[in-house]
Amino acid sequence: MAKLRVTYETGDPEKVIEFDLDKAPFQHDGQPGSILDIMLGHEISLEHACGGNCACTTCHVIVKSGMTNLSENEEAEDDLLDRAPGLTPTSRLGCQAVFEKDGEVTILVPRYTINQQVG
């Protein structure tokens, strides 16, 4: 089983999702098995103005732990992340960060996106 722990810069309560990777995709937005796919498929909202197509930065998240359980960044993702408010060395786009193996990943959903203030 894999686990996604979602924390919020806005102070909203933490959410924890345990799931079977073999059941991905859970939703139709983002890469199958991505953080966005998992969150939406478990009825947890994450802004994604482009529909999860790696065309904006609204699904920007900060990976606090478990980066080795996720896919590597690709150039298109890195190019977009350069425009994300609050960029950190562990920033990812939720639509592109795909769980590749069981384990726990903890993310922080930032307060601000390029579109709006969240929360």
* Boundaries of every domain in the chain: 2-109
User: Are 30 and 59 within 8 A, CB to CB?
Assistant: yes
The rounded distance, in Å, linking the Cα atoms of 78 and 73 is 7
Quote the pLDDT of residue 112: 81
Tokens read off for 94: 């939720």
Looking at the predicted structure, is the pLDDT value of residue 118 above 50?
Answer: no
CATH topology of domain 2-109: Ubiquitin-like (UB roll) (3.10.20)
pLDDT in tens, 52-106: 999 999 999 999 999 999 999 999 999 999 999 999 999 999 999 999 999 999 9
Nearest to 106 by CA among 92, 87, 86, 85: 92
pLDDT at 116 over 60: no
Give whole-number Cα distances, 105 to 24, 66, 75, 119, in Å.
16, 4, 22, 22
pTM: 0.93
Is the confidence at residue 44, as pLDDT, over 80? yes
pLDDT for position 114: 59
